[in-house]
Structure 1
Amino acid sequence: MTEELFLVEEATKKSGLVWVRGEAPAARALWHVWHEGAALVVGDGPGEQPLPGLTDGGTAEVTVRSKDKGGRVVAWTAAVRELPAGTEEWAAAVAELKGKRLNAPDGEAMPERWARECRVVRLEPRASTTDLPDGSLAAVPLPSPGITRRPIPAGLPKLLLKRKRKPRR
């Protein structure tokens, strides 16, 4: 194993989240599991992460973040391969992914749902690392009516600063 592939494997194993950009214009944060020399992701089904731009036989740029500080550690090019449901390789991948899936709505029935409604994708590193990307890899948030700043109600300061009177004896 070359030093670069060793770095890719160790960094990706330790990080619970990678930024992946396939054929979609923006990178997406995905939870993953490292198994048998590749990062495995599951998604594109109800209640699972979307996998935009990850097409079977294509490539993807993967950027690994540090688990401690969240900064970028290494970037690598991956060969994208979708695992067909029901195969031995798919079953081994799902066994690994199932153990790392947090807050699954269906518990033990999860593999059957993944077989019916989701895609399991293998991101296998190519021979070398790439330069770390400049700038943000995040997609611009969609417009939303939700905002964080609004004027406070006029009567609120009086309510908050109102002193409680001590009862007379």
Structure 2
Amino acid sequence: MTPTQRADLSEPSDLDVALVEEATKKSGLVWVRGEVAGAEERALWHVWHDGAAHVVGDGPQEQPLPGLVAGGRATVTVRSKDKGGRLVSWTASVRELEPRSEEWESAVAELKTKRLNATDTEGLREEWARGCRVLRLELAAVGASLPDGSLATAPRPTSATTRAPIPAALPKLLRGRGRGRARRA
């Protein structure tokens, strides 16, 4: 986080806390950027539990959590569920939960219910205790205003693609279908 961004932060009011909590609860994903130099913003699935967002990752089959360091800070951006645009950005203090502690058990119970496509739901708890990090992102400050411009970034490079030129005959085929249906009616 740059000094300019820090100056744009304020202590969260009750209204800020309510907005962050409600928006984060309803959003399936949040965009998170750690304060480590060069950290990229990543979409992370999460659970709002006990007044904070909780994420699990850095395991063999879990989401990566680059730039999120225990004791550090992160910027969390929450999108609007209905429009998809940025609703609120907030600064979180990052805390790693000690595996098998009471707080960890409580968070994992919630995370487990939201984990999609798990290959072994019964073994998740042990897998997360053995090889993953469970992080608690606590609200520290709320951005005073949203930026004027777009913060959109280019997609990450990948070899996977679905773009290919459409066949030359496709538009003609599609036009022909429409007329054929109209004649039958």
Note if 1:135 corresponds to 2:150: yes
Q: Distance in 2 between matches of 1:49 and 1:102?
A: 12
Deviations 1:61-92 (A, max 9, x none): 00001112211111100000111111111100
Amino acid at match of 1:56: A
| Structure 1 position 48, deviation (Å) | 1.0
Indicate which of 69, 73, 86 corresponds to 2:87.
73
Distance 1:151 1:73, change over 3 A: closer
CA contact 1:42–1:48 (8 Å) conserved in 2 = yes
| Structure 1 position 16, deviation (Å) | 1.1
2:112 is matched with: 98
Aligned residues: 157
Deviations 1:71-118 (A, max 9, x none): 111110000011111111110000010011111111111110011111
The structure with the largest alpha-carbon Rg is 1
Q: Distance in 1 between matches of 2:43 and 2:152?
A: 9
Unaligned runs of 5+ residues in structure 2 are 1-12, 174-185
Runs of 4+ in 1 over 6 A off after TM superposition: none
Matched position secondary structure for 1:95: helix
How well do the aligned residues superpose, as a CA RMSD in angstroms?
2.3
Indicate which of 15, 22, 25 corresponds to 1:10.
22
| Structure 1 position 144, deviation (Å) | 2.2
Note if 1:44 corresponds to 2:44: no
1:33 is matched with: 47
| Structure 1 position 151, deviation (Å) | 7.2
TM-score, normalised with respect to structure 2? 0.76
Q: Identify, as 1 or 2, the structure richer in helix.
A: 2
